[in-house]
Amino acid sequence: MSLVDFKRRHFIRSSCGYMLAIPFLSSLAPKSLAQAHQKKRFIAVRTLNGQVPEHFYPQRPMQKMGTNIYHKSFRQGQTLSPVLDSGFKDIASKLSLFRGLDHSKGGHNDTIMLTAGVHHYESNSTVLISNTIKDSLDELIARSGSVYQSTPFLRHLKLEPSVNEHNPYRSFSFYKGEKTFYERNMRSLYQFLFYGKNNPALQGQLTKTKKQKAIDLAKDGYQQLLRNRSLSSLDKSKLNQYLDTLNDLENKFASGSSSQGQACREIVNQQLNPSDHDSINDMAIELIALSLMCNMTQVVSYSMHGFGRYPGETNSSFHDISHWEFSSSKRFQNVGYGPERKMDYALASEQKYLRYYKWAAGKVAKLMYKLDQIQDSDGKSILDNSLVMWGNEFAGADHSPYSIPILIGGTLGGRVKPGYWDYTLRPLRYYHGRSDVHMPVGTVPYVNLLTTLANLYGVDRNVYEKNGRYGFGEFDLKQFNHYFYDERRVGNVEIKPRDNYASFIGSETNQRKSVPGWL
Amino acid sequence: MFSLQLKSLLRFLSFVILATVFFAPLSFQNCAGYEANTDGLMGDLDIESNKDLSLQLDRLNNQAAGKKYTCSHESQLGVGQKNMRRHSYQEIKNMIQTLFGESITRQILAELNLLPKDPNIKSKHYPNSLDESFFSRMAVISEKIANIAVRDRAFVSQYGACNELSNQGCYSHFVKNFVARAIKRPLTDSELTIFVNRLSLDRQNEPEVLIASVLMRPDFLHLILNGKAEGKKYKLTPYEVAHRISFATIANLPDEALWQAAANNQLTTLTQIIQHVRRLLLTQAGQKNVVTFFREWMSLEKSGEVSTTEVVNANINPKTLLQESNAEFDQFVRYIVFEKKGYFSDLFLDKTVFPTGNQLARVYGSELWTGGSQLQSRYGHRGIFLRPVSLMGGSNVTQIIDRGVKIRTELLCDSLIFPSLDVIGSRDKDLTPEEVNPQFHSNRTIVSNKTRRLECASCHKWINSLGFLLEHYDSLGRYRSQEKVYDIADRLIATHEIETTSDNLHISDLKGQRVSDVFEFNEYLANSEKVKTCFVTQLSEFTYKRKANSGDSCALSIKEDFASLNDVPVLELLISNIANEEIFYRGK
């Protein structure tokens, strides 16, 4: 697949097999892009099934910054861990890695990462399960006046690339309690973003004035309907949302930003033929980079597909294998959940286990690296002026929600302090299950990270603080598992939420607190 | 036959059952290991994990077998209906094709493809809202269509009865006819004046602006049914009834006959409604919609891709097999509903198969079907449930739990609860590696071992036994007498005998009866009141693209009663699902 010319001209294949870029985009990007003011960008990347701690995390940081707060910086060129391997080394100094952020629930729902309130399979449902969380953070950031000063081409680009649109899993974000749509077909998305690129006959069907007039006339229909007294308040709310969207569209027509994709047309080449899970994700990464580079959007949600597929394979499910446990000899065996069970006793699965994690990490690295190669208006890279957040629905094996692994690339223009932030206890203790499989319990609620992000992107707290809850998201300590494995006592011990979260419970200040040290 | 069904329907329309409405879904408590690997099989999970286990199980055990819905008074008919829903992407594509015709549609295929496909989940779960991405795409599409349509003389003359829209009279005529069809009702005189006057200063551009704007209007993108207040509900206008009929039958705008019926106020009696519903269901679009319902009911969303040693050895291409099986499922539904005019029991018991490809013919052990004499499977395949595509699991081993969940939630319409975190965490704690090693145990035994803990078993007893019944069919839907286990080098290392017997399936109307195999169970499905009730519920939810609510209980009660008659063909059930008193109303 070759999506864009710049890739063919300027990308080289590295020795580790990733497609890496040399500096290229600043020279190719139109001047109008360079004149744009610095923008806040947020990119959320979600995978499923968590991580294995010993493969994901580097050695623990030793610099004590406060009670249960440890930190160390990453050096440029440093390989961090078996999963966070060489793909990240050139951007290592711009990474923030978190350990010890606890959520209270753990189900297979990739919305959890951005809601901290939905804890269930619910993509078949039409509304959020949580009574208190109605919006995912990405949707609120996309509507923040602090992010967009003018109407963009697209407030929020949402992708869940899939070779087969009929695959059942589908990601959603949520706004006002209703799910919002993710793009699955990357070819269709490309056509939408760069409509008419290779066929001038498709462009300029109506003049700007006519477009505005058409939208204006359409709005009459919405206003007329809103006057209907028999309409429910829910339907009226929806119609008002539509009117906002049409106003956005009208503004775009007026400003010409509806065709901002054309600014990058000279570097877009329509040769699209992604054929497998690997190449379809590569295409997604290209489209994300292009959309950000061309100022078409500043908020992206990228869900890296359902339960996971191995690179180049369409018939494997990483979910099943992720349920394996280690034996005491640290080899994978047992459990036998799902189709890969025949390998349980072959003791040869560790590499396969790692293969998916490394593959997914490689895609994240590729995206971050690409964004680091694009120069923003202030001379920094787009990565520098963004936060690219990679996480999961829970921490890892057996749906453990404790110490959710989060990696964030970029610093949002220097607003955060990168490095390894570790909030777990010293020495490590209290595991969800076993120390070789599960993450240890942390000391900082995961919701504090979402609150931090909401503040960084200027999301009005009145929008997300509901029903006497402070901060973003829901940290329901009633769901907290009381019995944890303690290596020092070689057995399960009871710990109560107050043991770790006394300062959080009932404290408005602490519930609105940012993650320690990061800002 | 028609008069018989009509009589039956009317009989039940007047049938009042005085009883308390019981609409609460069944619930189950914490089920360890219940986590299918797709949402497609999740069914309608009841998220009540904190409710007391004993209360829920009591509720379950005390529930009467069979019928579920009651109707306290027929004035309640239709109160569950909503007044606004967005159209699916497929419906929008269908509407554009109908409004603009084949020629224009062909020219805008690239733009139409900008609209994504509908999510591959049950249509009742589609996202409720349209977002900025949709509107941006729709703006591109409407702009392109408008530009082409105003230059298409056939299109202009269709709605304007003239060729030149620059002519005032012609333009007014065009506005009146085109906009009416697009927004699903005739324009009032004042609306017509507004539409015409709004753009009159710039006559040359009027038509294209008008067309582009109409395609962005809420009444084009949504099915909006206002009606007029009548007691505690609203009575729909003939045009609204016409659109409810057409979207329920052909997922599209009304055809000319239905539109004219609305215009002539000929959609006021059930006889008139039934006539149009029957006519539309028999069209190609109607049949396609019926097939789509059965595909949704059987949850055929899964990919069915597997890569087992046996697949390789037997030279089976799972993708080809999946394609052939999907097409054959559709053919079977058409055969039962429209050709054979079969009964509900035929949906499960009819043994006719239609393998048009070699892969599927091998699974059936039959010859290729070439359109001639009827064929049967050598391995017991039959009906919509015991068909390869319904049995496929997208996995190397049979997904016993997924299958059990599917039967419980989709065929029996019982609800299940997701296990709590504690229960999931405890799942494997007292298992030895030997107990879950397929070299020593069958898949059935391993699943039993993994769910034997009390907190798991309390729920899995509702799931596992149903999944065990299907163990004679592997994850490609092939019959097997033994389960084979291979090692990493694809060497056969163990075989296990298949055991499908269940002493208690925990289904209310089976009353603990022992079921020995899936064929016996399939007989139950074919004749069970509970399954018929589930069928009418699923059918109604598919038709109205939403979950049933308590306001639907009256209508569902009538449909349930009608379905309980054994001499009613499936086609008549499909007709009565739409053509009953509720079609005239919506709730508040």
> H helices of B1-131, where?
2-13, 53-62, 89-107, 109-112
Residues B398, B485 contacting (CB under 8 angstroms): no
Q: Whose CA is closest to B87, among B257, B282, B244?
A: B244
A248, A336, A433 ranked by CB distance to B438: nearest: A336
> Strand ranges (DSSP E) for B445-583?
482-486, 492-497
Q: Which of residues 431-470 of B touch A (CB under 8 A)?
A: 431, 433, 436-439, 446, 450
Residues contacting residue A470 through CB under 8 Å, at least 6 positions apart: A508, A511, A512
Taking the C-alpha atoms of residue A425 and residue A312, their distance in angstroms, rounded to an integer, is: 40
Q: What is the pLDDT of residue A439?
A: 76
Residues A437, A326 contacting (CB under 8 angstroms): yes
C-alpha triplet B544, B222, B175: angle, nearest 5°: 135
Strand-pair category, A173-175 with A178-180 = antiparallel
Q: What is the pLDDT of residue B203?
A: 58
Contact A217 B306 (CB under 8 A): no
Residues A94, A106 contacting (CB under 8 angstroms): no
CA dihedral for A426, A429, A434, A437, sign (positive or negative): negative
Residues contacting residue A507 through CB under 8 Å, at least 6 positions apart: none
Contact B45 A121 (CB under 8 A): yes
The one-letter amino acid at A2: S
Q: Whose CA is closest to B374, among B357, B354, B348, B346?
A: B354
B183, B198, B446 ranked by CB distance to A336: nearest: B446
Q: Which of residues 298-337 of B touch A (CB under 8 A)?
A: 301-303, 305-307, 318
Taking the C-alpha atoms of residue A385 and residue B469, their distance in angstroms, rounded to an integer, is: 57
Q: How far is B2 from chain A (nearest CA, A)?
A: 38
Please give the residue of chain B at the shortest CA–CA distance from A130.
B47
Q: What is the pLDDT of residues A325-340, one digit of tens each?
A: 443 333 333 333 333 3
Residue A201 pLDDT > 80, yes or no?
no
* Interface predicted TM-score of the whole assembly (ipTM), two decimals: 0.84
Q: What is the pLDDT of residue A326?
A: 42
For chain A, the structural domain boundaries read 2-193+274-321+350-511, 195-263
B491 Cα distance to chain centroid = 42
Residue A59 pLDDT > 80, yes or no?
yes
Taking the C-alpha atoms of residue A247 and residue A218, their distance in angstroms, rounded to an integer, is: 11
Return the CATH number of the domain spanning residue range A2-193+274-321+350-511: 3.40.720
Which chain A residues are closer than 8 Å to B131 by Cβ? 180-181, 245
CA distances from B157 to A34, A230, B171 (A): 51, 37, 10
Please give the residue of chain B at the shortest CA–CA distance from A247.
B132
Q: Calculate the CA dihedral of residues B339, B342, B344, B345 and round it to 10 degrees.
A: -120
Residues B304, B322 contacting (CB under 8 angstroms): yes
> Strand ranges (DSSP E) for A54-106?
63-66, 69-72, 95-99, 101-102
Residues A402, A102 contacting (CB under 8 angstroms): yes
Q: What is the pLDDT of residue B32?
A: 29
Task: Pick the residue of B31, B35, B39, B113 with the most A CBs within 10 A to test the interface with A by mutation.
Answer: B39
User: Phi-psi region for residue B254, left (φ > 0), alpha (ψ -120 to 50) or beta?
Assistant: beta
Residue A21 pLDDT > 60, yes or no?
no
3-state secondary structure of A334: coil
Q: What is the DSSP string of A233-297?
A: HHHHHHHHHHHHHHHHHHHHHHHTGGGGGGGGGGGEEEE----SHHHHHHHHHHHHHHHHHTTS-
Q: What is the pLDDT along chain B (588 residues), one digit of tens a residue?
A: 444 444 444 444 333 222 222 222 222 222 323 333 222 222 333 333 334 444 554 454 444 456 688 888 888 899 999 999 999 999 999 999 999 999 999 999 988 988 888 877 788 888 788 988 899 999 999 999 999 998 899 999 999 888 777 778 888 899 999 999 999 999 999 888 888 877 665 555 578 899 999 999 999 999 999 999 998 899 999 999 999 999 999 999 999 999 999 999 999 999 999 999 999 999 999 999 999 999 999 988 665 566 667 777 778 888 889 899 999 999 999 999 999 999 999 999 999 999 999 999 999 999 999 998 899 999 999 999 999 999 987 677 888 988 998 999 899 998 887 666 566 656 666 777 788 788 899 999 999 998 888 878 888 988 999 999 999 999 889 999 999 887 766 778 899 999 998 888 888 778 778 898 999 999 999 999 999 999 999 999 999 999 899 999 999 999 999 999 888 999 999 999 999 999 999 998
Taking the C-alpha atoms of residue A401 and residue A104, their distance in angstroms, rounded to an integer, is: 6
Contact A124 B431 (CB under 8 A): no
Residues B133, B148 contacting (CB under 8 angstroms): no
Residues contacting residue B56 through CB under 8 Å, at least 6 positions apart: B27, B28, B29, B48
Which chain A residues are closer than 8 Å to B226 by Cβ? 228, 230
A129, A166, A215 ranked by CB distance to B216: nearest: A215
Strand-pair category, A386-391 with A41-46 = parallel
CA distances from B228 to A333, B189, B218, B225, B236 (A): 66, 20, 20, 10, 6
Residues B408, B460 contacting (CB under 8 angstroms): no
Taking the C-alpha atoms of residue B208 and residue B204, their distance in angstroms, rounded to an integer, is: 9
Residues contacting residue B541 through CB under 8 Å, at least 6 positions apart: B122, B124, B547, B548
A210, A225, A399 ranked by CB distance to B218: nearest: A225
Taking the C-alpha atoms of residue A435 and residue A483, their distance in angstroms, rounded to an integer, is: 14
The whole-chain average pLDDT of chain A stands at 77
Q: What is the pLDDT of residues A257-303, one digit of tens each?
A: 555 454 565 455 545 667 777 888 888 999 999 899 888 899 999 99
> H helices of B108-131, where?
109-112
CA dihedral for A196, B96, B299, B121, sign (positive or negative): positive
Please give the residue of chain A at the shortest CA–CA distance from B306.
A315
Please give the residue of chain B at the shortest CA–CA distance from A104.
B421
Taking the C-alpha atoms of residue A434 and residue A504, their distance in angstroms, rounded to an integer, is: 26
> H helices of A127-227, where?
137-142, 186-193, 208-226
What is the H or E stretch that residue B233 is in?
Answer: strand B233-235
Taking the C-alpha atoms of residue B62 and residue B74, their distance in angstroms, rounded to an integer, is: 27
Token pair 């291979």 in the structure block, residue: B486
Q: Calculate the CA dihedral of residues A127, A130, A136, A140 and round it to 10 degrees.
A: 90
Of A88-97, A107-116, A419-428, B379-388, the range with the lowest mean pLDDT is A107-116
Contact B136 A249 (CB under 8 A): yes
Burial label, B131 (beta-carbon count in 10 A; 0-12, 13-18, 19+): buried
Residues contacting residue B311 through CB under 8 Å, at least 6 positions apart: B318, B476
CA distances from A298 to A44, A95, A290, A457 (A): 11, 19, 11, 11
Q: What is the pLDDT of residue B408?
A: 92
Of A189-198, A428-437, B251-260, the range with the lowest mean pLDDT is A428-437
Taking the C-alpha atoms of residue B147 and residue B144, their distance in angstroms, rounded to an integer, is: 5
Task: Pick the residue of A121, A301, A347 with the most B CBs within 10 A to test the interface with B by mutation.
Answer: A121
Residues A240, A227 contacting (CB under 8 angstroms): no
Q: What is the pLDDT of residue A316?
A: 53
Residues contacting residue B155 through CB under 8 Å, at least 6 positions apart: B100, B101, B103, B104, B149
Strand-pair category, A483-486 with A406-409 = unpaired
Strand-pair category, A419-422 with A69-72 = antiparallel
> Strand ranges (DSSP E) for A351-395?
386-391
Q: What is the pLDDT of residue A28?
A: 44
Phi, psi at A240, each rounded to 5°: -65, -40
Taking the C-alpha atoms of residue B328 and residue A431, their distance in angstroms, rounded to an integer, is: 51
Which chain A residues are closer than 8 Å to B209 by Cβ? 206, 210, 213-214, 217
Which chain A residues are closer than 8 Å to B183 by Cβ? 221
Q: What is the pLDDT of residue B427?
A: 65
> For helices B89-107 and B168-183, what crossing angle results, to 10°?
140
Q: Which of residues 227-266 of B touch A (CB under 8 A)?
A: 229, 234
Please give the residue of chain B at the shortest CA–CA distance from A152.
B132
Phi, psi at A323, each rounded to 5°: -85, 0
Which chain B residues are closer than 8 Å to A394 by Cβ? none
